[in-house]
Amino acid sequence: MKIVQQLLLVAVALWLRQGGAPTVAGQCAHRCGRVPIPYPFGLEPQCVRSNEFLLNCNKTEGRGGRLLLGNYSIHKISVSDSTMVIRLPELNDCYNKSSLSVNTNNSLSIDLSPYPQYRFSANRNALTVLGCDTYAYMTNGVGRGACSPYCTRYVDLAKETTCLGLGCCQVSIPGVDTLYVRISFFNDNVKVSSFNPCGVAFVGDKELFNISSKRSDFVLDWTIGWNVTCTQAILNQSSYACGNNTDCRDFADGPGYRCFCKPGYEGNPYDRSCGCQGN
Ligand SMILES: *[C@@H]1O[C@H](CO)[C@@H](O)[C@H](O)[C@H]1NC(C)=O
Ligand SMILES: *[C@@H]1O[C@H](CO)[C@@H](O)[C@H](O)[C@H]1NC(C)=O
Ligand SMILES: *[C@@H]1O[C@H](CO)[C@@H](O)[C@H](O)[C@H]1NC(C)=O
Ligand SMILES: *[C@@H]1O[C@H](CO)[C@@H](O)[C@H](O)[C@H]1NC(C)=O
Ligand SMILES: *[C@@H]1O[C@H](CO)[C@@H](O)[C@H](O)[C@H]1NC(C)=O
Ligand SMILES: *[C@@H]1O[C@H](CO)[C@@H](O)[C@H](O)[C@H]1NC(C)=O
Ligand SMILES: *[C@@H]1O[C@H](CO)[C@@H](O)[C@H](O)[C@H]1NC(C)=O
Ligand SMILES: *[C@@H]1O[C@H](CO)[C@@H](O)[C@H](O)[C@H]1NC(C)=O
């Protein structure tokens, strides 16, 4: 009896490794808290494509759990465009009437270099800086960037949801995997502290931000194979990740490839048994 069970488990595990739908096994968690976990990701070794896609669910945090990539809180995983959104805290530097820095969280570093399949999404993220007499800079393996917004009159920073110039500036973030950001102020902040006591900076989606939420959504691109191109990957059908009705595309910002449903098809392009379906 025991042996039969074990054989079954082995069979299921093998089938899953070959890209079978984890939905059928019944042993794979499909969400952590409110965040759905699609294949190739998972919480259990038998449910993921390879160990690089194993995530943690901290059940003692959040409502029903908090999905984690290392220390980073995962907000969303998308298989249709191979992205992941993580939550990062915002940086702030606040001053009181005598222009002394109080209540400061003025630096942030992000290091995804231990995870070969992730890159910062080059076209979706920016360093956004809000404030008056505030200065923020960032460095990464490739270069550096900085910006400093200006204010000529009162700006209610708490109401900003777009970066239109006054009291706000943005710098693009390249598709790299490490970043260090620091915020500070200059001019002793004398002329502004009375009406804008805080400078704020964050890295995240440049289109959608919400200054009141105190955190930002940072978009990552992930690849399914990070050391091969489509042409190389397709040669080995047993390790090739893209299912039926998909297009394979080489990743633009580094080595690796990703799968997409062909036009007119929808579903999970990484699911080899019931992925992209016609509609
Ligand atoms: C889960 O989160 C709690 C509270 O932050 C922490 O004490 C605990 O160590 C975490 N557990 C794991 C497995 O990360
Ligand atoms: C998580 O954060 C702790 C303390 O901030 C740090 O020591 C550790 O290296 C981090 N781990 C990862 C995977 O980033
Ligand atoms: C400003 O903050 C500093 C440091 O916390 C404190 O010593 C100083 O008294 C504060 N000044 C005012 C006017 O609140
Ligand atoms: C600073 O950021 C950490 C998260 O990295 C957060 O827990 C803490 O509350 C923040 N502190 C302030 C003063 O905003
Ligand atoms: C911004 O965040 C705050 C606090 O989390 C929330 O109450 C508010 O509804 C959000 N606004 C938008 C436009 O999402
Ligand atoms: C790609 O990496 C995997 C594991 O990380 C390794 O098994 C494989 O040999 C590598 N392939 C090439 C072409 O370097
Ligand atoms: C094809 O991929 C499978 C599974 O990763 C591996 O065991 C096998 O060695 C690969 N074959 C070739 C010719 O590289
Ligand atoms: C995938 O396509 C192949 C070849 O067209 C076909 O033989 C196979 O049945 C398809 N698999 C599924 C699950 O649709």
pLDDT digits (tens, 9 = 90+) for 101-157: 666 788 999 999 999 999 999 889 999 988 877 889 999 877 899 998 877 776 676
In the reported structure, the alpha carbon of residue 273 is separated from the centroid of ligand 8 by a whole-number distance in angstroms of 8
CB of 224 closer than 6 A to ligand 6? Answer: no
**Ligand 1: distance of its center to the CA of 231 in Å?**
42
Mean pLDDT of the chain: 83
* Ligand 3 proximity of 100 Cβ (cutoff 6 Å): yes
Would you say the CB of residue 227 lies under 6 angstroms from ligand 6? yes
Number of Cβ atoms within 10 Å of the Cβ of 250: 16
* Secondary structure (DSSP) of 193-253: TTT--EEEEEEEESS---GGGSEEEEEEEE-SBSS--HHHHTT-TTT----TTEEEEE-TT
192 lines ligand 6 (CB under 6 A): no
Residue of 94, 95, 97, 100 to test ligand 3 pocket, by largest number of atoms within 8 Å of CB? 100
pTM value surpassing 0.95: no
SS3 content of the chain, % helix, strand, coil (to 5): 15, 40, 50
Question: For a pocket test of ligand 7, which of 18, 232, 236, 237 has the largest count of ligand atoms closer than 8 A to its C-beta?
Answer: 236
Within 10 angstroms of residue 171's Cβ, the number of other Cβ atoms is: 17
Say what percent of the chain tops pLDDT 70.
80
Q: Is the CB of 89 under 6 A from ligand 4?
A: yes
Which protein residue has the closest C-alpha to ligand 2 atom 9?
A: 71
Ligand 7 atom closest to the Cα of residue 236 is: 1
Residue 219 has pLDDT above 80, yes or no: yes
Q: Whose CA is nearest to atom 3 of ligand 4?
A: 89
Write down the pLDDT at residue 208.
73
pLDDT tens for each residue of 2-48: 444 444 444 444 444 444 444 444 589 999 999 999 999 999 999 99
Q: Which atom of ligand 2 is nearest to the CA of 111?
A: 14
User: If you average pLDDT over residues 203-224, what whole number do you get?
Assistant: 84
Q: Percent of the chain at pLDDT above 90? A: 51
- More confident position, 68 or 174: 68
For residues 182 and 105, give the distance between their C-alpha atoms in angstroms, rounded to a whole number.
9
User: Does ligand 8 come within 6 angstroms of the Cβ of 245?
Assistant: no
* Residue 15 burial (C-beta neighbours within 10 Å; 0-12, 13-18, 19+): middle
Q: How far apart are CA 262 and CA 244, in angstroms?
A: 9
> Which of 23, 244, 245, 270 for a ligand 8 pocket mutation test, highest count of atoms within 8 Å of Cβ?
244
Tell me the best of 49, 51, 227 to mutate to test the pocket of ligand 6, counting ligand atoms within 8 Å of each CB and taking the most: 227
Is 25 strand, coil or helix?
A: helix
CB 103 near ligand 4, within 6 Å: yes
The distance from CA 135 to its chain's CA centroid, rounded to whole angstroms, is 25
The encoded tokens of residue 277 equal 């379906």
